Amino acid sequence: MKIIIKCQIIILIFILIAGCSDNPSDAHEEDEPKDEHNAGESSFEVNGEVEGKMTGNSEIVIVVEELPLTGELRYVLRLGIFDDKRVADREFRIGIGVELQNEVIPVTVFELGEWEIVGGTADYTHINKDLIGTDYRTIEGYGGELEITEFDGNTATGSFEFSAATFREGTPFGEITVTEGIFIAPVVVVEDL
């Protein structure tokens, strides 16, 4: 749980930094060339209580953490996806976290593969125009799959899909399904040793 919170904080900081612009009046101009330091790209479709085809930015953070009792290292991959609007205008955020095997680090020898998205490892936050967010999570009975198909040492390419629900007193009361998710994301390694 501690590692998920750390990953969410890292992604939130990245979102805040990525949402800043030197000149707010040109934040949405289509004619401007994209900054080469922007986050990667992503698109997906969401159906259910929230509907739409979404596009945005993406980033993968790999957190390396030493487990306190055993001293073993744990590697967690966290894919963050968010729309490319200014922070105050954002409409969605996705976070997917999966635990990797020890042999995948250093990041230059990152292994391709598929990971099951199971209880608590993915969330979708929908933000309405009043800036109120609704969180949909992959609690028991909901889930999906994350696949990484290419990695060049700096950028990973892959796909994702999952179902999630928002809960009230432990009972699901709103569901979504995220499909056709694809991403090209820069990879950053953070060591928490």
pLDDT in tens, 20-66: 444 333 433 333 333 444 579 999 999 999 999 999 999 988 888 88
Would you kindly state where each structural domain of the chain is located, as residue ranges?
2-19+41-192
pLDDT in tens, 1-10: 444 444 444 4
For residues 35 and 75, the model is more confident at 75
pLDDT in tens, 136-192: 989 888 999 999 999 887 899 999 999 999 988 877 888 999 999 999 999 888 877
| Cβ–Cβ under 8 Å, residues 57 and 40 | yes
For residues 44 and 101, the model is more confident at 44
Residues in the chain: 193
Pairwise CA distance, residues 31 & 84, whole Å:
15
Per DSSP, helices labelled H in the chain are 2-18
- The DSSP-derived string for 59-114 is EEEEEEEE-TTT--EEEEEEEEEE-SS-GGG--EEEEEEEEEPGGG-SGGGPPPEE
Cα Dmax for the chain: 54
**In Å, how far from its chain's centre is CA 29?**
25
